[in-house]
Amino acid sequence: MRVHAPAGPDANGRLAVTLEEGTKKDSFYFASRDFNLQPSGEALIASALFAAMQSGAALGLAGTISREFYETIGDIQDILAEWHPQLAKVGIEGCQPQPCSVAPAGRVGLFFSAGVDSFYSLLKHQDEITDLIFIRGHEFRARENELLDRNARIVHETARRMGKHVIEVETDLRWLLASKGLKWVKVTHGAVMAAIGLLLQGEFRRIYIAATGNYARLDPWPSHPMLDPMWGTEALEFVHDGCELNRVEKVAVLAREDWVLRSLRVCGEYTTTAPNCGRCEKCIRTMLNLLAAGALERGPQFEVGLDAQRIRRMRVSDFHRLEDEKDNLHALAQAGAPRAIIRALRSAIHRWERRFLLMRLARTLPSPLRLLLRLPYRLLRRLGLIERRPREAGEQAAEMQGAS
């Protein structure tokens, strides 16, 4: 498989990248009106690595690449292949590893979506960070301009208030990878962020990537404290930031600034009247975080308010989200939150705990019995008598559009 790109972006700031494997050709793009993107060999490898690892073909490209990057790309692949059995380790061919020729620069960036994690990293490193990097085409397709513009406005407003630059980068790489069955949320988003960071490396010396989980809950996840720093070169360092606190603790930090709370955007669902739907598990989780921090009234806009019934009926996607909800329960009990809310949350946690336990129990049954139980289970689910496990916020939309 070969990856190549022109020497620089076109007049519209668009950089087209082509992937070729035999007669098959795929293309994707990165575009920015705020920055002259530099198609370094490292950026091309980061953007094409998943496609190559999935097809099992060596990745070829011309030119030079950073020696440090070249030496760690094998370790990156070791981790990815161990996490995702469908990926195989491949060779990198045709390029010359050399110490990075780009002079160390002075700017420091942060991938910023105005969520809890990226706001926490922004406040923590506000003296050092010079630029907020906002990615278009990530959570929704680029054509979803209205929603993206609204999110961009929050990012620009935050940057204006804190005296930072904004670099918007648009890409459709997510959709190309999704069309190959590589899921954005669980597999590819870390590499795409690394590719975008590496397109900026001419002027940046460090880029922060805000952590999703804390050290106690480190699952295989595309952006990970072990993986993110490995994408760095001699001239650019990636820092995975914020693993020291859980989400409850991060929101407590954000609650010190009213304007930060008002600017929060945590929801990955399509909304029309407010930036956050207030109905999905992530919105409810964040509202509970805010309540525990005594900051719900000062918080961001949600289409609907916090409601005990909705908490009770909340759907939890996996064991780790359940652990987050347990953090919330603990913090709410300590903060003396209304008993109805605590009871509703406890009820939701117990319901999902039982559900996950039963799912695990079912896996220990002999296969004929499992097969026998599957039919009535599916029937009950179809009739709506058993609730479906929800997907991660935005995951469903991403997969639908990726498949289209």
Q: Is 270 in the site for other proteins (CB under 8 A)?
A: no
Q: Is 222 in the site for other proteins (CB under 8 A)?
A: no
**Which residues are within 8 A (CB) of 335 and not within 5 positions of it... i.e. 6 or more apart?**
291, 292, 293, 294
Closer by beta carbon to other proteins, 71 or else 78? 78
Name the pairing type of β-strands 237-241 and 64-66.
unpaired
DSSP label at 304?
A: S
Q: Is 323 in the site for other proteins (CB under 8 A)?
A: no
Residue 247 C-beta: closest distance to other proteins, Å: 12
Q: Is 380 in the site for other proteins (CB under 8 A)?
A: no
Residue 229 C-beta: closest distance to other proteins, Å: 10
Q: Is 190 in the site for other proteins (CB under 8 A)?
A: no
Site string for other proteins, 239-268 (x = CB under 8 A): ----xx-x----------------------
C-alpha span between 60 and 41 (Å, rounded): 10
40 φψ region: left (φ > 0), alpha (ψ -120 to 50), beta (else): beta
Q: What is the distance, to the nearest Å, from the Cα of residue 380 to the centroid of all Cα atoms in its chain?
A: 33
C-alpha span between 142 and 148 (Å, rounded): 8
**Which residues are within 8 A (CB) of 145 and not within 5 positions of it... i.e. 6 or more apart?**
none
Residue 385 C-beta: closest distance to other proteins, Å: 22
When binding is defined by CB under 8 A, the residue of 72, 83, 307, 320 that contacts other proteins is 83
For residue 321, the one-letter residue type is: R
176 touches 402 (CB < 8 A): no
C-alpha span between 29 and 170 (Å, rounded): 8
Closer by beta carbon to other proteins, 14 or else 351? 351
When binding is defined by CB under 8 A, the residue of 10, 86, 99, 226 that contacts other proteins is 226
Q: Is 144 in the site for other proteins (CB under 8 A)?
A: no
C-alpha span between 307 and 279 (Å, rounded): 9
323 touches 395 (CB < 8 A): no
Q: Is 78 in the site for other proteins (CB under 8 A)?
A: yes
| Candidate ranges 64-72, 106-114, 255-263, 356-364; the one touching other proteins (CB under 8 A) | 356-364
Q: Is 319 in the site for other proteins (CB under 8 A)?
A: no
Residue among 152, 127, 121 nearest 137 (CA): 152
Residues pairing with 141 in the sheet:
none
List the beta strands (DSSP E) in 127-181.
131-136, 165-171
When binding is defined by CB under 8 A, the residue of 216, 375, 383, 385 that contacts other proteins is 216
Which spans in 182-243 are helix H?
Answer: 189-199
| Candidate ranges 79-87, 102-110, 180-188, 200-208; the one touching other proteins (CB under 8 A) | 79-87
Total number of residues binding other proteins (CB under 8 A)?
25
Task: Give helix then strand counts, H and E, for the chain.
Answer: 14, 12
Residue 10 C-beta: closest distance to other proteins, Å: 40
| Structure tokens given for 30 | 């990165």
Residue 363 C-beta: closest distance to other proteins, Å: 8
Q: What is the distance, to the nearest Å, from the Cα of residue 21 to the centroid of all Cα atoms in its chain?
A: 28
When binding is defined by CB under 8 A, the residue of 16, 79, 274, 304 that contacts other proteins is 79
Residue 116 C-beta: closest distance to other proteins, Å: 17
When binding is defined by CB under 8 A, the residue of 262, 360, 374, 378 that contacts other proteins is 360
Residue 252 C-beta: closest distance to other proteins, Å: 14
| Structure tokens given for 106 | 């002075």
For residue 215, the one-letter residue type is: Y
For residue 339, the one-letter residue type is: R
| Candidate ranges 55-63, 91-99, 335-343, 358-366; the one touching other proteins (CB under 8 A) | 358-366
Closer by beta carbon to other proteins, 49 or else 176? 49
Q: Is 218 in the site for other proteins (CB under 8 A)?
A: yes
* Residue ranges that bind other proteins, judged by CB under 8 A: 75, 78-79, 81-83, 214-216, 218, 220, 225-226, 243-244, 246, 350, 353-354, 357, 360-361, 363-365
